[in-house]
Amino acid sequence: MSKLSKQDKIDIYNNWKHYHKSLSQLGREYGVRPDNLYYLIRLIDLHGLEILNKSYSSYSVEFKKTAIKRILINDEPANQVSLDLGLPSSGMIYN
């Protein structure tokens, strides 16, 4: 995903929620894949716009182990675990 500013993310969310712009259309406007926008919108829906105030985090080994166990042992979808944990992108869980 290209680097979006906090304001870009807010604008994307508002355009989708209030003006019913499609993810494809927003993706073209911002140069971002629609599936990445879908993740962003779900993240904001789940955690609110405050999630965008979260700065870079260094995650503990225990945090990482818990996330991995949820996926490998509990068979939870990786994308859902990423959203639940408030990770800035779904790709982080795979890394």
* Residue 1: per-residue pLDDT: 42
Number of domains in the chain: 2
- Give yes or no: residues 10 and 48 share one domain: yes
The tokens 């990423």 sit on which residue?
Answer: 82
State which residues form the domain around 41: 6-53
Tell me what the pLDDT averaged over the chain comes to: 94
Structure tokens at 87: 């990770």
Same domain, yes or no: 49 and 66: no
Instruction: For the chain, give the percent of residues with pLDDT over 90.
Output: 86
Residue 26 belongs to a domain:
yes
Q: Is 81 helix (H, G, I), strand (E, B) or coil?
A: helix
Q: Whole-prediction pTM value?
A: 0.88
pLDDT tens across 39-52, in order?
999 999 999 999 99
Q: Are residues 46 and 82 in the same domain?
A: no
Q: Has residue 1 been placed in a domain?
A: no
Q: What is the pLDDT of residues 58-81, one digit of tens each?
A: 999 999 999 999 999 999 999 999
